[in-house]
């Protein structure tokens, strides 16, 4: 597993003046219960969410449990900026998004967002919808795996954040609802219409998007939306173990895999196979692949460095 | 629920000379058993199928039970024209397609279509295949949800009509078969090769299209082709309840969702998210979204009008 | 079922000097156990794999059981050339790929391929990745159904060969693993990132491609990757029966279906429906469709000829 003090990959935070990363002010360590044996965490915090980095994993934990972690304009903006900043933060090799309290994320706050948008002109509305879309763009273009640990309701924009993640671990009691239609909006929001049919198929996506009903964790697993369903008490450890495994894998190759998973939906067979041929010819020269071969010959575990 | 006498949305039939809509002559009301509490239905009929409008729902019921509702040239043409005419019929906010007798729709009639096509020249054949494709195009471009209530066999073109619907409710005994291959034709018919892989995945679609075997309702549900499977006795009420729910929802937003579900398969991530941002900026200004917000503040149910 | 001595479709091998097809030298018949009642087989063999043609079915059986049928440069090249040569071999109407010993195919040999690639320059690496991609291209562009009978592990390139087949029959003990990531490579190899999300959906594909874990036959069936799971003792007969059924079907129409299944992922709805209209107008004039109609009128089974 990559070391946090890795010299090749200086932490972004160290490089920014005043230990400030975008809008995320570094504060005193706020150790979270249940995270044991993690030396030298560099926790960060904004009032938008709790943020920390540990052993190559950036943890983002929603911070508004009283409203089931509804989103405000500032939370949206900070999440969007974070996902962008992580692109160039080589110390982070996987991202874990977690709920807080009873919910994962209930989407745009009815008072702080929906009410405010009522007062906006056309430009103001498009500024908003483009910014929320930018959050999803930044998640999908981040060449690092994103794991969402879904503890409770993921609704509206919260459902899309879960959807744009690469892995979704559900607690048994968790639910997901693309409820845009219920509030008089189109479900074509933040890429939901782009992503959901590719995950659960055209018919189930149509149903979920047109009706906006809550889907149970069991159903989410059946239709391929949940990777795994676990007891709530095991959610954090399961999601963290997966994040650790991903962070210690050949992350440059993995980032390329993610990039092409995005891109090849719009390629024809021949172009896609040529794209993969060039990508793999590149990776065959990577340190990580050579490290695999050396470890195989030497009968030991490989130690990947993401380069 | 929108009222049939709604002034904003004059019925198309009222605007057409002689109460004629395309080929659908209005006849005396033919009340169907089991449809209770529906005041002021405006039933229409062609000998191609039974047609009625009730509370925003256009009901299309096949009318050739003796041949499991096989399609003739005229049924094809009338269905195609109906799906086109419904685009501009603001009184209709959802469509329900139903079988008749033992079957849903057995596809092109062996005698009246297959036999006749044997006599056609190249132009005549292409006229036919383009017209059948136009039916599916018109269904997919109709920005209103289409529910199919599948009571028995849906085969060949009947299977594609079911497939092009937005929702499919199966009776337990219903089956679906893309049997083109069995009659020596390609399964690339009326968009089946475009649609089915997006619903059930590439491998199951390949199997269904290359073999043409009947799929049971249970299997159709397992693979995501059936939204729900119910007892035959409950099929009509279940499909009607779904249609009513859809018809009373924010149908303009829903139509936009359907349009983008069609279009975004061929967009890249960035273009799709920009498309969704502009679509949602538009819908944030819609009456229905404002109505939702008002109803939320006033703690009452919203009353959507599809604008 | 088409006869092997069919005059319209001379065997490619007969047309080649010295009974040599590409690199496949014809050797003495090597009758395989369990293949009964197949008169006049014309077995061929390269040291790369066992090859035979029987009743319109080309059987390809891996030949390196000691290494779980790992691939060498020569096996790759010969398979690639075979899949290309079969395009114009009208005697072959379906292809069956089978494992040997305990495994199906374990992918690129660690010593004979991975070790050797370490010594190659950029051009040499791209030559390799393009050639492996060409194998998959040739399988997908072969307008004949390919059935894979997966008896044991299908890993790495072996998993992609299975994936690029049109049908996958799994023995209960069979497993499949896209393990590229585990060897420090991207899973974007030979079209895996193009194909797998279209078969099992975006989320499951992401998991399988990013983690590289083995999937059991039961799970492969659940997620739509296996068409069927059978007892190992029934694998050969099941896969052969399916191949025979496919070979005796209207194979020209079927080839067109396969071609369009490839192509329509990248078409919009309107273009796809026009493509299908022209394809079907063509097939309505085919011998096989007329034969169906004649057989229907005469109340007998149709005898398709693939034209």
C45 and C125 part of one domain: yes
Residue C72 lies in a domain: yes
Neighbour-count burial for A178-189, b at 16+ CB within 10 Å, e otherwise? bbbbbbbbbbbb
Please check whether residues B279 and B137 belong to one and the same domain: no
Q: Is C211 helix (H, G, I), strand (E, B) or coil?
A: helix
Cβ-defined contact of B278 to A184 (cutoff 8 Å):
no
Whether A306 is in a domain gets the answer: no
- The share of chain C scoring above pLDDT 70, in percent, equals 85
Q: Which residue has the tokens 């080309």?
A: C58
Write down the pLDDT at residue C47. 86
Q: Under an 8 A CB cutoff, do B201 and C224 touch?
A: yes
pLDDT at B45: 57
Query: Which residues of chain C have a CB within 8 Å of the CB of B210?
Result: 145, 166-167, 246, 249, 254, 257-258
Cβ contact, residue pair C253, B181, below 8 Å:
yes
Neighbours of C (≥3 Cβ pairs closer than 8 A)?
A, B
As a whole number of angstroms, the distance between CA B146 and CA A197 comes to: 18
Residue C68 has pLDDT above 50, yes or no: yes
**Which residue in the block uniquely carries the two structure tokens 């993995």?**
A254
Residues C144 and C279 in one domain: no
Q: Which residues contact A200 (CB under 8 A, 6 or more apart)?
A: A208, A223, A224, A225, B224, C201
- What is the pLDDT averaged over residues C41-58? 79
Of A224, A269, A281, the CB nearest to C194: A269
Q: What is the mean pLDDT of residues C252-261?
A: 98
Within 10 A of C27 (CB to CB), how many other CB atoms are there?
14
User: What is the sign of the dihedral through the CA atoms of B78, B84, B86 and B89?
Assistant: negative
Using a CB-CB cut-off of 8 Å, the residues of chain B touching A201 are 198-201, 224
Query: Cβ separation of A261 and C223 shorter than 8 Å?
Result: no
Same domain (yes/no): C235, C283: no
C260/B193 Cβ within 8 A: yes
Query: Which of B114, B133, B223 has its CB closest to that of C224?
Result: B223
Q: How confident is the model at residue B46 (pLDDT cuts 50, 70, 90)?
A: confident
B70 shares a domain with B48: yes
Q: Is the pLDDT of residue C5 over 60?
A: no
Residues A189 and A163 sit within 8 Å (Cβ to Cβ): no
Mutate to test the interface with B, among C203, C265, C270, C280 (most CBs of B within 10 A): C280
What's residue B128's pLDDT?
Answer: 97
Confidence of residue B297 (pLDDT cuts 50, 70, 90): very high
What's the pLDDT band for B47 if we cut at 50, 70, 90?
confident
In a domain, B215, yes or no: yes
DSSP character for A81? H
* Bridge-based pairing state of the strands B175-177 and B215-216: antiparallel
Using a CB–CB cutoff of 8 Å, tell me whether A258 touches chain C. Answer: yes
- Tell me if chain C has a CB within 8 Å of the CB of B188: yes
Count the Cβ atoms, other than its own, within 10 Å of residue C119.
7
CB atoms < 10 A from the CB of A270, how many? Answer: 15
Q: In terms of Cα–Cα distance, which of B179, B176, A215, B224 is closest to C224?
A: B224
User: Three-class SS of residue A186?
Assistant: coil
* Residue C292: closest CA among C246, C252, C250: C250
For residue B6, being part of any structural domain is answered with: no
Residue B260 with chain C: CB contacts under 8 Å: none
- Number of CB atoms found within 10 A of residue B191's CB: 27
Residue of C nearest to A283 (CA): C185
Touching check for A267 and chain C: CB below 8 Å?
A: yes
Q: How far apart are CA B83 and CA B75, in angstroms?
A: 12
User: What pLDDT is recorded for position A110?
Assistant: 86
Question: C283 contacts in B (CB within 8 Å)?
Answer: 184-186
Quick: pLDDT tens for B121-146.
Answer: 999 999 999 999 999 999 999 999 99
Q: What pLDDT sits at residue C28?
A: 30
Does residue C74 belong to any structural domain of this protein?
yes
User: Quick check: B55 pLDDT over 60?
Assistant: yes
Residue with tokens 């011998």: C287
B246 touches chain A (CB under 8 A): yes
Q: Is C103 helix (H, G, I), strand (E, B) or coil?
A: strand
Longest pairwise C-alpha distance within chain B = 66
Residues of chain C positioned with their CB less than 8 A from the CB of B262? 269
> In this predicted model, which residue has the larger pLDDT, C172 or A25?
C172
pLDDT, position B9: 31
With cut-offs at 50, 70 and 90, classify the pLDDT of residue C43.
very low
Q: What is the average pLDDT across B179-197?
A: 97
Share above pLDDT 70 across residues of chain B, in percent, rounded to a whole number: 85
Task: Give chain A positions within 8 Å (CB) of B260.
Answer: 186, 188, 193
Out of B214, B233, B248, pick the residue that ends a domain: B248
Listing DSSP states for B69-138 in one string gives S-B-HHHHHHHHHHHHHGGG-TT--EEEEE-BTTBSB--B-IIIIIIHHTT--HHHHHHHHHHHHHHHHH
CB < 8 Å to C195, chain B: 202
CB within 8 Å: B285 and A133: no
Cβ contact C250:B164 at 8 Å: no
Question: Is residue A307 situated within a structural domain?
Answer: no
The answer to whether residue B305 sits within a structural domain is no
CA distance A51 to A160: 20
Provide the pLDDT for residue C44: 54
- Asked whether residue A87 falls in the same domain as residue A179, the answer is yes
**Does residue B191 belong to the interface with chain A, where contact is any CB pair within 8 Å?**
no
**C213 in contact with B at a CB cutoff of 8 Å?**
no
Q: Is the dihedral of CA A86, A226, C175, C205 positive or negative?
A: negative
Residues B134 and B155 in one domain: yes
The alpha-carbon gap from C286 to the nearest alpha carbon of chain A, in Å, equals 28
User: What is the token pair recorded at A119?
Assistant: 């007062």
Residues B120 and B262 in one domain: no
- Give SS3 for B216: strand
Domain holding B110: CATH number?
Answer: 3.90.226.10
Decide: C183 and A301 in contact? Cβ < 8 Å: no
Q: How far is B204 from chain C (nearest CA, A)?
A: 6
Note the pLDDT of residue B11: 32
The stretch B259-278 carries a mean pLDDT of: 97
Identify whether residues C285 and C225 lie together within a single domain: no
Residue C30 has pLDDT above 70, yes or no: no
Report pLDDT for B110: 87
- Please give the pLDDT value at position A185: 97
The pLDDT score that the predictor gives to residue C33 is: 36
Mean of the per-residue pLDDT values of chain C: 88
The predicted pLDDT at position A44 comes to 54
Residue C94 has pLDDT above 50, yes or no: yes
Asked if the structure places residue B5 within a domain, the reply is: no
| B140 close contact with A: CB closer than 8 A | no
Of A208, A232, A248, the last residue of a domain is A248
pTM, entire model: 0.88
pLDDT at res. C168: 98
A residues 99-138 closer than 8 Å to B (CB): 110, 114-115, 117-118, 122, 125-126, 128-130, 132-134, 136-137
Task: Specify whether C272 is located in the same domain as C237.
Answer: no
The per-residue pLDDT string of chain A (307 residues; one tens digit each, 9 = 90 and over) reads 333 333 333 333 322 333 334 334 333 333 343 333 333 333 355 789 999 999 999 999 999 999 999 999 999 999 999 999 999 999 999 999 999 999 999 999 988 999 899 999 999 999 999 999 999 999 999 999 999 999 999 999 999 999 999 999 999 999 999 999 999 999 999 999 999 999 999 999 999 999 999 999 999 999 999 999 999 999 999 999 999 999 999 999 999 999 999 999 999 999 999 999 999 999 999 999 999 999 999 999 999 999 9
In this complex, the residue of C128, C188, C262 whose CB is nearest that of residue A279 is C188
Distance from CA of A72 to the nearest CA of B (A): 17
Range of the domain at B182: 12-248
Q: Contact C203/A168, CB-based, under 8 Å?
A: yes
pLDDT of C235 strictly over 80: yes
- In tens, the pLDDT along B2-36 reads 333 333 333 333 223 333 333 343 333 333 333 33
B274 contacts chain A (CB < 8 A) = yes
Nearest CA-CA distance, residue A129 and chain B, Å: 5
Q: Which residue in this structure is represented by tokens 């079927």?
A: C254
Residues A161 and A22 in one domain: yes
Mutation target among A193, A272, A298 for the C interface, most CBs of C within 10 A: A272
Give SS3 for C147. Answer: strand
Q: Which of A14-28, C102-116, C189-203 has the lowest mean pLDDT?
A: A14-28
Domain count, chain B: 2
Contact B104, B154 (CB under 8 A): yes
Q: Residues of A numbered 79-98 whose beta carbons fall under 8 angstroms of chain B's beta carbons: which are they?
A: none
Clarify whether residues C237 and C259 are in a common domain: no
In a mutational test of the C interface, the residue from A147, A269, A289, A303 whose CB has the highest number of chain C CBs within 10 Å is: A269
């Amino acid at each position: 597993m990559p070391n946090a003090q890795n010299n090749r990959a200086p932490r972004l935070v160290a490089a920014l003046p005043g230990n400030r990363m975008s809008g995320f002010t570094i504060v005193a360590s706020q150790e979270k219960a249940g995270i044991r044996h993690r030396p030298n965490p560099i926790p960060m915090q904004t009032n938008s969410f709790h943020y920390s980095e540990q052993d190559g994993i950036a943890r983002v934990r929603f911070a508004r449990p009283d409203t089931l972690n509804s989103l405000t304009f500032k939370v949206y903006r900070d999440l969007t900026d974070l996902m962008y900043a992580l692109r160039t933060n080589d110390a982070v090799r996987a991202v874990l998004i977690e709920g807080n309290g009873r919910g994962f994320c209930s989407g745009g706050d009815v008072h702080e967002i929906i009410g405010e948008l009522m007062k906006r002109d056309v430009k103001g509305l498009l500024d908003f919808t483009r910014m929320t879309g930018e959050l999803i763009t930044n998640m999908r273009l981040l060449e690092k795996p994103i794991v969402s640990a879904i503890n409770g309701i993921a609704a509206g924009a919260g459902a899309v954040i879960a959807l744009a993640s690469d892995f979704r671990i559900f607690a048994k009691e968790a639910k997901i609802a693309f409820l845009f239609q219920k509030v008089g909006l189109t479900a074509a929001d933040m890429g939901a219409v782009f992503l959901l049919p590719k995950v659960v198929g055209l018919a189930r996506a149509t149903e979920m998007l047109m009706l906006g009903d809550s889907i149970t964790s069991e159903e989410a697993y059946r239709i391929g939306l949940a990777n795994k369903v676990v007891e709530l008490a095991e959610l954090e450890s399961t999601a963290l173990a997966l994040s650790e495994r991903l962070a210690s894998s050949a992350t440059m190759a993995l980032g390329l895999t993610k990039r092409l998973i995005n891109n090849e939906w719009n390629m024809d067979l021949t172009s896609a196979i040529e794209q993969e041929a060039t990508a793999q010819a590149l990776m065959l020269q990577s340190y990580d692949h050579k490290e695999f071969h050396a470890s195989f010959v030497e009968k030991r575990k490989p130690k990947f460095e993401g380069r």
